[in-house]
Amino acid sequence: MTTQTETAQRPVLVVDFGAQYAQLIARRVREAGVYSEIVPHTATADEVAAKEPVALILSGGPSSVYEDGAPSLDPGILQLGVPTLGICYGFQVMAQQLGGTVANTGLREYGATDAAVTGSGGVLLEGQPAEQNVWMSHGDQVSAAPEGFEVLASTAATPVAAFGNAEKCFYGVQWHPEVKHSDYGQQVIVNFLHKAAGLASDWNSGNVIAEQVARIRAQVGTGRVLSALSGGVDSAVSTALVHEAVGDQLVAVFIDHGLLRKGEREQVENDYVASTGVRLITVDARETFLTALAGVSDPEQKRKIIGREFIRAFEKVQQELIAEAAAEGDPIRFLVQGTLYPDVVESGGGTGTANIKSHHNVGGLPEDLQFELVEPLRTLFKDEVRAIGRELGLPAEIVGRQPFPGPGLGIRIVGEVTADRLEILRDADAIAREELTRAGLDGEIWQCPVVLLADVRSVGVQGDGRTYGHPIVLRPVSSEDAMTADWTRLPYDVLSKISNRITNEVREVNRVVLDVTSKPPGTIEWE
């Protein structure tokens, strides 16, 4: 856990009890216009107090409060006088520590559940229907609220499904308000933040930009900065934000490895540069990558080769730029990285100048690059990054771009990567993206990988003859954070148009199939 807040704003702290939705809670708080951070349940009262939180939210979790070794909360945290909302397991921990009763009655509630609001529902549930659908996931119940607490809602199996103490500003709900399956879930969070805790909606993209520009200038001073620009959302926005702060002190490097989608190089070189004014160096390494990938079909080997060649290409231009800067007496000391808040949380929340993560979207930078990292997005979620990009005036095609893997189309070709196969996949991918955009579906899907089964051929009929062409797989998925995902139910007419266009317009493709596997058990990418 960090010892200081990630921004100058005092945070709402989400205390994580191992919930799969802890990040989602933090995002919902941000959507309400309030800055949030996640801390582990092992944080002490002193560590929490050091962050000067304006409110606390205790997350759900998979355990029972009666299990041996169940996640606990430092009792001193509830003595800090900070407005607190407990959710699911956090609600039960809160009830237990404050003198209420948590019982295992044998009655469980999972999924959609009818909840009845008691009286006015207090500040937490006011203005909501007396009967509402909520999303439950629990085996234990709060059977008696702590002294001084008012019962705000109940269900058939749970006599105390929500409670509140207005004087202490302590509230809790047994259900999950952070998920969209709870009809008035976001209103519960909004009511707690704004009406109960009295917090203002002052977390927005304009404030973030101003704050980060000041931080970047303070960190970099007059030093020179290098950025590895992939063309993806994270690297594009982080590079633009640093350029906003230090201007020509920044040099962006774009490596064309030949595994890009149609028009992406031109998009970066023309539209991105025009909108930001950033100095861009493009390295054309297409032949180098194709030569290194020749004859290789194993996906892990392909990833390693792509990462290795990316490193070599980046190191070459890096050394040239360092020599240029040294000749001018001002060496390059800083490297921009598009780390997002989920990366920080999932890596344990570490800070400092750690090694570049090998999984980052630039494709894997060398671990021994000795730069001080500039990470202007490390407090942000993906949707916030997109908002920052729009505020900075980046092209919609870049800001709204779907997540794209660092190894690019190299891992969307099942089989050997060749120039011909790349062109086939590029054409099919461009058609799918064009039709999804035309149908107004970009906002409904997380991403839609298009996969070429290069080592598979199937019989078909085109014109008057039989063909043996490759299948193309469409993999449209919906997700909040890519940790889990479900296949997107695209309209049949859109799927039909995509299929017809691909089989008519893309050579050597005579079949289009739809991947309807969720994650888990499948992954989003095929390789």
Considering the candidates 41, 138, 169, 176, report the single residue annotated as catalytic.
176
Considering the candidates 6, 37, 41, 88, report the single residue annotated as catalytic.
88
Token output for 446 = 């997380």
Cα gap 429→452, rounded to integer Å: 10
Burial code of 472-481, b = ≥16 C-beta within 10 A, e = fewer? bbbbbbebbb
Tell how far CA 55 is from the center of its chain.
Answer: 23
Question: Which residues touch 272 (CB under 8 Å, ≥6 apart)?
Answer: 229, 231, 236, 278, 280, 394, 395, 398
Reduced to 3 states (helix: H, G, I; strand: E, B; else coil), residue 286 is helix
* Active site (annotated) includes residue 243: no
* Active site (annotated) includes residue 88: yes
Measured torsion, CA atoms of residues 192, 193, 199, 200, in degrees rounded to the nearest 10 = -130
Three-class DSSP labels, 85-141: EEECHHHHHHHHHCCCEEECCCCCEEEEEEEEECCCCHHHHCCCCCEEEEEEEECCE
Q: Which residue from 294, 293, 267 is spatially nearest to 282, judged by alpha carbons?
A: 267
* Active site (annotated) includes residue 178: yes
Task: Please give the helix or strand (H or E) that residue 171 lies within, else none.
Answer: strand 170-173
- DSSP 8-state class, residue 18: S
Considering the candidates 6, 37, 109, 178, report the single residue annotated as catalytic.
178
Q: Is the peptide bond before 520 cis (omega within 30 degrees of 0)?
A: yes
Angle subtended at Cα 87 by Cα 85 and Cα 93, rounded to the nearest 5 degrees: 85
Cα gap 362→204, rounded to integer Å: 27
Three-class DSSP labels, 341-401: HHHHHHCCCCCCCCCCCCCCCCCCCCCCCCCEEECCCCCCCHHHHHHHHHHCCCCHHHHCC
Residue positions annotated with a catalytic role:
88, 176, 178
